[in-house]
Amino acid sequence: MKRAFGLVAVLVALVVAGCGSDEEATPSPAEERNAQARQERKAKVKQERQARQERNAKGRQERKAKTRQERQARQERNAKGKPKPEPGEAPAKFTGLKADRYETSYLVCKDARTSKVAKEYGLPAGSDEVTVAETYADDYRADFHQAAFEGCLDGLLGK
């Protein structure tokens, strides 16, 4: 019984100690400063997050606009057809070393003219451009023959 009475007394003491006045304690000046600093940090983080979201949205819009412009330009190019190569520039069907062969043949035959190339290859003076270009291209391996022929012919014709 004494034990039960002691236990009840402890419980009553705890309840009475926990039941203070209904008024809340006023925060100290240090606690007020800390609370204000927390609020300022939260506001600053919120502003930075919003600014970052706005920058990202602007960047996305700019990328979309650039992609849209590139797509439109590509569609316009495709609608017009493939661009023609500049004089002396190899057509798209020749790539790598064959393109180099075309361009070199073009320059050689353009600078030399039909009569000089014909004379160099032992053809008669009045030979036509196709015959001269064919004879010029015969000196090249079979896989470079077409590039040399077309390059020389375009150079002789001034294309």
Tokens 């030979």 appear where?
127
- Where does the pLDDT of residue 79 fall: very low under 50, low under 70, confident under 90, or very high at 90 and above? low
Tokens 């023609």 appear where?
84
The 10s digit of each residue's pLDDT in 91-150 is 778 888 988 899 999 988 888 888 888 888 888 888 888 999 998 999 888 899 999 999
Q: Name every residue whose Cβ is closer than 8 Å to that of residue 136 and which is 6 or more positions away in sequence.
A: 105, 108, 109, 117, 121, 148, 149, 152
pTM above 0.85, yes or no: no
Say what the pLDDT of residue 43 is.
Answer: 92
- Closest listed residue to residue 154, CA positions, set 98, 104, 119: 104
* % helix, strand, coil for the chain, step of 5: 75, 0, 25
Residue 87 clears pLDDT 70, i.e. is over it: no
Under DSSP, the state recorded for 58 is H
